Amino acid sequence: LTSTVTDTGIGINKDDMQKLFLPFSQINPSLTRKFGGAGLGLVICRKLAEMMGGNIYASSEIDKGSKFTLRIPVESYNENEAVKSNSIRNKKIIPDAGIKILIAEDNIFNQVITSKMLQKSGYNFAVVSNGIEAVKQAQESHFNIVLMDMQMPEMDGITATLEILRHYEIKNLPAPIIIGCTANAMESDKNTCLNAGMKDFLAKPFTLDELRTLMIKWTKAEKKSLK
């Protein structure tokens, strides 16, 4: 797989080309301030390419521009295998009857994507846009699972989680399984979720398969707890 990006910028001297792939390199500090420098971007890109068995190559001419080429080795396309894989992926799983899921997410795009995933998998769900609405919904009707975004307006996901769990503790009722969802996928973020009482953690953006795996895992756990 080959992908090439070209520009018509100021160009780079041949002697300075290799400096592009050194961390925090600045070929010419004055030009960097004026036009912007490579910084860590190309270093990270090359490392990612190397992890996939590929590489990034650069060429340039002064006053004409630069060309960057990414090459990654991939297997040739097999139509039969692709059809077989898609036929499995497109099948609906059969969720346990009565399982209700609450999506607490302020980003409309993420709401739509997650809703499509759950709909494709056959789950019943509702959507709210902030922590206050999440707490209200969780108190007014029981959800088996809550997909809780960590950063929302009016009330964040951690505070909403604590409020929901406190409500069910006071009522002496089984609380919903709360799964933290965030683009901050550091170990510390995961620990923050778990310490607040969440049962699991899902890093965004997540795939349909990742979401399905968690849903199957926790719907089974929910079913056992109700016995």
In tens, the pLDDT along 148-190 reads 999 898 999 999 999 999 999 999 999 999 999 988 767 888 8
Q: Which class is domain 2-71? A: alpha beta
> Confidence class of residue 10 from pLDDT cuts 50, 70 and 90?
confident
Average pLDDT over residues 75-104: 62
pLDDT digits (tens, 9 = 90+) for 25-70: 555 555 444 444 445 677 778 887 887 788 888 888 888 888 989 9
Residue 33: the pLDDT is 45
Question: Minimal CA–CA distance to 222: which of 98, 61, 116?
Answer: 98
**Domain 100-226 CATH assignment equals 3.40.50.300:** no
Query: Residue 104 CB: number of other CB atoms within 10 A?
Result: 31
d(CA 45, CA 152) in angstroms, rounded, equals 31
Mean pLDDT of the chain, nearest integer: 81
> Distance between the two ends of the chain, CA-based, in angstroms?
52
Any idea where the domains of the chain sit in the sequence? Answer: 2-71, 100-226
CB 112 within 8 A of CB 104: no
Residue 102 has pLDDT above 90, yes or no: yes
pLDDT digits (tens, 9 = 90+) for 134-152: 999 999 998 999 999 998 9
CB 202 within 8 A of CB 214: yes
